Amino acid sequence: MIRITGGSLRGRVVRVPVAEGIRPTTERVREALFSIIGQDLEGIRFLDAFGGTGAVALEASSRGADVIVLERDGAAARDIRARLDAVGVTNVALVPGNVLTHAPKLGIFDVVFADPPWAAPVQPTIDALARLATSLFILEAESATVVPERAGRLVLERSRNYGRTTLHVYRPA
């Protein structure tokens, strides 16, 4: 079950269960994320690079962004589609496939959000995705994860901890 925290769908509860092995971005972290990005995302092109539950894509969509969500796991992608359909979202494109190979083919985005599996090394994700962001690249990672100060032309602006989760925010230098 996922509750949308802001925008036109604020308060809506999506009752599609979360599959085993998927680690959803918590409500607290999503609220913090959109505090950083902003509440009005009308006209913003947004990439949710590791869809998981689709909660971040739903939040961005609810705030007016045009969203592309990538998810490689077929079952997780079907669940994301079910969540999008449950709330009638039309400004989200679901793209199945591997982030590292598919994301560069999608063009550039105002905002890129990445929450890769915590067991995976983050550097390949940073290398592949930071260059696609024109305004913001935000990496969600386990708090113990060490990230570089620079990601291409982007500079680490801040890192904020939320329990075991940290949001690392990169902006153009």
pLDDT for res 19: 77
pLDDT for res 164: 95
Q: Beta strand pairing status for 133-142 and 45-48?
A: unpaired
Task: Give the domain extent around 75.
Answer: 2-172
pTM score, two decimals?
A: 0.95
pLDDT for res 7: 94
pLDDT in tens, the chain (173 residues): 899 999 999 999 998 788 778 888 999 999 999 999 999 999 999 999 999 999 999 999 999 999 999 999 999 999 999 999 999 998 999 999 999 899 889 999 999 999 999 989 999 999 999 999 999 999 999 999 999 999 999 999 999 999 999 999 999 98
- Give the DSSP H or E segment for 31: helix 27-37
Decide: 30 and 59 in contact? Cβ < 8 Å. yes
Paired tokens of 138? 């935000």
pLDDT for res 161: 97
CATH of the domain at 12: 3.40.50.150
State the CB neighbour count (10 A cutoff) for residue 127.
13
pLDDT for res 121: 94
Decide: 126 and 99 in contact? Cβ < 8 Å. no
pLDDT for res 20: 79
Sequence-separated (6 or more) residues with CB below 8 Å from residue 60: 34, 37, 41, 44, 46, 48, 67, 111, 113
- How many structural domains compose the chain? 1
